[in-house]
Structure 1
Amino acid sequence: MVAKLLRFLGVAALASFALAACPNKCSGHGTCGPNDICSCQQNWINADCSGRQCPFTRAWQDTALYANDAHYYAECGGRGTCDRSTGICTCDTDFTGSGCRRMRCPGDCNGHGVCLFMEELAVLSTDPRVGGTAGTTYTMWDREKIQGCQCDPGWEGYSCLNRVCPKGDDPLTVNDPSYPAVTQVEMMQGIAVYGTWTAATSLVLKYTDPYGNTWSTSAITAANEAALCTNIQTQLRKLPNLALYSTTLSGEGQVTVVARAIKPVTRDAANPAVGTIGATLTSGTPATFIAACVVSFPSGPGTTGYQYPLTCDIATHTSPGSQPLQVQSAVTGCTVVEHYDGGLASPVTLPFTELATCSNRGICDSSRGECQCFSGHKGLACDLQEALV
């Protein structure tokens, strides 16, 4: 009888020990510790270590504990639900990435752009046109979280869903009524080349149009300054898609380039009304200045108003696959500046024509990229007038 009682007590003790073990043996993802509490391995949670932990990212919304101490790390960034079976976040609408760390670009840019972080877009906010603005640096907490679209050429809008319509000069506005003595109305740029030029030397010019396309000339060679300016004109006129060619009521217009002293204009801010004329640049002054070419843009759609400055490429490109191939001997610099062709002293006012969507004389059909002109106006950019009958 005593032996049976002892055996019963032993079994009861074993049963009590079994019932006190860690839950589910910590699911194989932890260690059973004192008081039968699981100590889970990294990225496993729950009392029995059965659930996967999702990535922690900076919280999209948070309560600040101290000054400048908000947006602490939260599972799925506080903008998603964790699937404990997989450890993967199911993000809320418009959020994506591991731990829902990024805001999705609207419509994923609709196939007409690339999705970039705010810090990238801040740098790309540079407006390289004459008188344009410089980019900036963005360093706030969401610099690598909020995203936006950088649209492909010919597309615009926050989701790159809209086609860009033609742009031109408003035919009903005067160029600058406050300064009637200013006669220059078209955009003019001066190309200054420094160093030593030989017949084997070449350079390449790049033109960016208002729609975001960039066009490169073939390698430009010449025997002397006058020939260089002439050859620059020839190559600019050969750019594809008639990039620098227009048709107006007065006939056909093309970009022109002539050898002429350059009067550089400096503007202190983004497109200010007043600028100053710098020292005139003339070939041979200084001695290392070997060419001065003035570029006049045609007056058709897309080539009026402020234009992107032409850019020079004077580097040597002779390796296989380089396009175009070019040789650079002792050319030390090539600068493009805004040029003022009038005889007035500084300050120089703002005499440029507009570069307005549909020339402000029509409605842009963004689904097709075409202008619907108002009565009395016609043309690709509604920049021409016609008689009303």
Structure 2
Amino acid sequence: MLVALLTVFASGVRAGCPDFCNGHGNCDARDGGLVCSCFDGWSGPSCASRKCDSSPAWISKGSSLTAHGHVEECSGAGVCDRTTGLCKCNPGFSGMACHRLACPNGCSGRGTCSLVSTIGAELGSGAASPGQSAPTGFGWNYSPWDKNMAAGCNCEYGAFGPDCSLSNTPMPANLDDVTSDYCKLVFESLPNVRTVSCSKSNHSGSSKSFAVAILEWATVFDSYMNNIWYHDGAPHAGELGMRHSDGLSRGRRLVNCGFGLFPRDIQISNSSGFQGSSDVEVQNPSS
């Protein structure tokens, strides 16, 4: 009789955990019962489900003004496949834990998808402010929680835009080749501009000025500059582009935009700080 009782008791221990923990955990006594303690990488009452990689969640309440401590499977930006243990990331996210922003269109084959920490270290100015550090000869030591999560395209020379899909318009070598037709071509190459008219307003031996009227905006456009490379008012003399954040598809307001053409330099900016000797008035279409 004693042997029989011991056999029943031993059998009860094994049967107390569902599916014997599927071989992926130990059956332990806890809180008056028997539960599976799953091995690393497994989860669920019977340890039948795989875990996915975790990382700080993209959206959470946060743990302080500067810290972001909440960790979640697939970073809260994807769904865990419990069969394979792999994250199925939402559009725009990548990585084993969906912990990185995906670069748009793979940077169009014209750039490198780089982390914000890499961009800061390799391309930053290196001029540190009080209380911050920058390695000698390099840029910033970017260290917030998203340093290995946020990413963007570092476009190759001649390409720009969030996905490096746009190209700068070549600048004629001779000032005499900069005609009203060329002016029209330059402005109408901007993604948010559909139709313009250009007329020469001034021509000296060293510069030209054009009066530009934007006749029609494109109906749908995005901001085509990225956060790494942008025109600061003095782009290279071999190319001509324009920062066009003031271009709007709707609304009526005067936008002052100017570019001056000089033998060794090109000056481009908007009304917030024109650089050069003459402005070009760019008006919205009349209603």
For the aligned pair, the TM-score class normalised by the smaller chain equals 0.5 to 0.7
Change in CA separation of 1:167 and 1:137 when aligned onto 2, cut-off 3 Å = farther
Shift of residue 104, structure 1, vs aligned partner: 0.5
Residue deviations 1:61-119, cap 9 Å, x none? 22233453324321111111111111101111100001111000122211111111112
Distance 1:95 1:113 in 2: 18
- Is this contact kept in 2: 1:165–1:364, CA < 8 A? no
Where do residues 166-205 of structure 1 align in structure 2 (5 Å cutoff)? Answer: 166-167=170-171
Is 1:90 aligned to 2:88, yes or no? Answer: yes
Counting matched residue pairs gives 185
Work out which of the residue numbers 67, 70, 88 in structure 1 matches 2:68.
Answer: 70
Residue of structure 2 in register with 1:107 after alignment: 105
Gaps of 5+ in 2: 127-137, 201-207, 211-238, 241-259, 263-287
Paired residue secondary structure (2:87) = strand
Distance 2:161 2:77 in 1: 26
Is 1:374 aligned to 2:215, yes or no? Answer: no
Change in CA separation of 1:66 and 1:113 when aligned onto 2, cut-off 3 Å = closer
- Is this contact kept in 2: 1:118–1:148, CA < 8 A? yes
Could you tell me the percent identity over the aligned residues?
29
Q: Give the AA of the match of 1:102.
A: R
Q: Give the AA of the match of 1:141.
A: W
Shift of residue 121, structure 1, vs aligned partner: 2.1
Question: Structure 1: which 4+ aligned runs deviate by more than 6 Å?
Answer: 358-361
Residue of structure 2 in register with 1:23 after alignment: 18
Residue deviations 1:40-68, cap 9 Å, x none? 11111111010111111121122233453
Paired residue secondary structure (1:70) = coil
Higher relative contact order (CA 8 A, sep 6+): 1
Work out which of the residue numbers 158, 163, 171 in structure 1 matches 2:162.
Answer: 158
Residue of structure 2 in register with 1:39 after alignment: 37
Q: Give the AA of the match of 1:118.
A: V
Residue of structure 2 in register with 1:145 after alignment: 149
Distance 1:166 1:125 in 2: 27
Paired residue secondary structure (1:54) = coil
Residue of structure 2 in register with 1:210 after alignment: none
Residue deviations 1:342-389, cap 9 Å, x none? xxxxxxxxxxxxxxxx7799415268xxxx9834489x96959xxxxx
Residue deviations 1:155-199, cap 9 Å, x none? 11111111111247xxxxxxxxxxxxxxxxxxxxxxxxxxxxxxx
Change in CA separation of 1:63 and 1:145 when aligned onto 2, cut-off 3 Å = same
Normalised by the length of structure 2, the TM-score is 0.53
Distance 2:150 2:144 in 1: 11
Work out which of the residue numbers 77, 80, 90 in structure 2 matches 1:79.
Answer: 77
Q: Which has the larger radius of gyration?
A: 1
Q: Give the AA of the match of 1:374.
A: C
For the aligned residue pairs, the C-alpha RMSD in angstroms reads 4.0
Distance 2:174 2:66 in 1: 58
- Is this contact kept in 1: 2:63–2:69, CA < 8 A? no
Distance 1:14 1:137 in 2: 61
Residue of structure 2 in register with 1:61 after alignment: 59
Q: Give the AA of the match of 1:68.
A: T
- Is this contact kept in 2: 1:102–1:147, CA < 8 A? yes
Shift of residue 18, structure 1, vs aligned partner: 7.5
